[in-house]
Chains A and B, each alone.
Chain A
Amino acid sequence: MTLTIDPQASTENDIVAAPEGTLFRFATAGSVDDGKSTLVGRLLHDSKAILADQLEAVTRTSTERGFGGESGGIDFALLTDGLRAEREQGITIDVAYRYFATPARSFILADCPGHVQYTRNMVTGATTADAVIMLIDARKGVLEQTRRHLSVVALLRVPHVIVAVNKIDLLDYDEAAYREVEASVRLVTAELGIADVLVIPVSALVGDNVVDRSERTPWYAGPSLLELLETLSVIDDLDASGRASEAFRLPVQLVLRPQGAVVVDPELADSYRDYRAYAGQIASGSIKVGDTVSVEPGGGTSTVTSIDFAGVFLDEAFAPQSVALQLADNLDIARGAVIAALDTLPPLTRTLEADLFWLDPRPLAPGARVLVKFGTTVVQALVSDVTGRLDLTTLGVEPATNLAVNDIGQASIRLSRDLPVERYVQNRRSGAFLVIHPQDGATLAAGIVTAPGEPTRAGDGSGAGSDVSP
Chain B
Amino acid sequence: MRAPPMTIATSHRLSELDVLESEAIHIIREVVAEFERPVLLFSGGKDSVVVLHLAAKAFWPGKIPFSLLHVDTGHNFPEVLEFRDKTVAAHGVRLTVAKVEDYIADGRLAERADGTRNPLQTLPLLDAIAAGRHDAVFGGARRDEDKARAKERILSLRDEFGQWDPRNQRPELWNLYNGRHTVGQHVRAFPISNWTELNVWRYIERENIELPPLYYAHEREVYRRDDMWRAVGPVSPARADETIEVRTVRYRTVGDMSCTGAVDSAAVSVSDVVREVGVSTITERGATRADDRISEAAMEDRKKEGYF
Contacts and interface: CB of A to CB of B under 8 A. Distances in A.
A84 B178 contact: no
Contacts of B3: 233, 237, 239-240, 245
Nearest to B157: A441
5 contacts: A97-B151, A262-B61, A263-B92, A320-B175, A437-B180
Contacts of A254: 29, 32-33
Given A253-B30, A264-B61, A233 B16 contact: no
Given A237-B12, A240-B8, A443 B171 contact: yes
Interface stretch (B125-133, B194-202, B212-220, B234-242): B194-202
A423 interface: no
In the complex, the 9 A-B pairs of residues with the closest C-beta atoms, listed nearest first: A17-B278, A441-B180, A82-B147, A258-B62, A53-B286, A310-B57, A322-B25, A322-B22, A238-B12
Interface in B143-183: 143-144, 146-151, 157, 166-167, 169-176, 178, 180-182
Interface string B256-291: 000000000000000000110111111100110000
B58 A279 contact: yes
B5 A233 contact: yes
A286 B9 CA distance: 14
B23 interface: yes
Given A99-B144, A231-B6, A376-B33, A318 B12 contact: yes
Contacts of B4: 196, 233
A436 B181 CA distance: 11
A43 interface: no
B270 to A, nearest CB: 13
B208 interface: no
B171 A123 contact: yes
Interface stretch (A172-180, A292-300, A387-395, A427-435): A427-435
Contacts of B277: 17
Given A94-B169, A97-B194, A127-B173, A320 B19 contact: yes
Interface of B: 1-9, 11-23, 25-26, 29-30, 32-33, 56-63, 92, 143-144, 146-151, 157, 166-167, 169-176, 178, 180-182, 193-194, 196, 198-199, 202, 274-275, 277-283, 286-287, 296-297, 300-301
A239 B8 CA distance: 5
B170 to A, nearest CB: 5
Contact of A94 (B8, B61, B151): B151
Contacts of B9: 237-242
Interface in A288-339: 308-311, 318, 320-322, 324, 335
A221 interface: no
Given A15-B278, A17-B274, A85-B167, 5 more contacts: A17-B278, A99-B194, A233-B4, A238-B8, A261-B62
A119 B149 CA distance: 22
A80 interface: yes
B14 A94 contact: no
A57 B26 contact: no
A242 B3 CA distance: 11
Contact of A433 (B57, B176, B286, B297): B176
A173 B287 CA distance: 43
Contacts of A82: 146-151, 300
A52 B12 contact: no
B279 A262 contact: no
B61 A434 contact: no
Nearest to A159: B2
Interface centre among B150, B277, B287 (most CB of A within 10 A): B150
Nearest to B299: A82
A52 B282 contact: yes
Interface in A247-281: 253-254, 256-258, 261-264, 272, 275, 279-281
Given A80-B150, A263-B62, A443-B178, A234 B279 contact: no
A263 B63 contact: yes
A245 B12 CA distance: 13
Given A241-B9, A433-B176, A51 B281 contact: yes
Contacts of A272: 61
A14 interface: yes
B171 A359 contact: yes
Contacts of A286: 12
A416 interface: no
Nearest to A283: B175
Nearest to A236: B14
Given A16-B278, A256-B59, A320-B14, A432 B174 contact: yes
B29 A22 contact: no
A57 B29 contact: no
A237 to B, nearest CB: 5
A148 interface: no
A10 B171 contact: no
B202 to A, nearest CB: 6
Nearest to B202: A20
B15 A22 contact: yes
Contacts of B196: 99, 101, 106
B251 to A, nearest CB: 17
A82 B301 CA distance: 12
Nearest to A55: B281
Given A373-B178, A446-B173, A53 B282 contact: yes
Interface in A65-97: 79-85, 87, 93-97
Contacts of A87: 296-297
Contact of A321 (B18, B172, B194): B18
Contacts of A275: 61
Contacts of A434: 173, 176, 178
Contact of B280 (A51, A85, A106, A373): A51
A152 B286 CA distance: 38
A160 B5 contact: yes
A214 interface: no
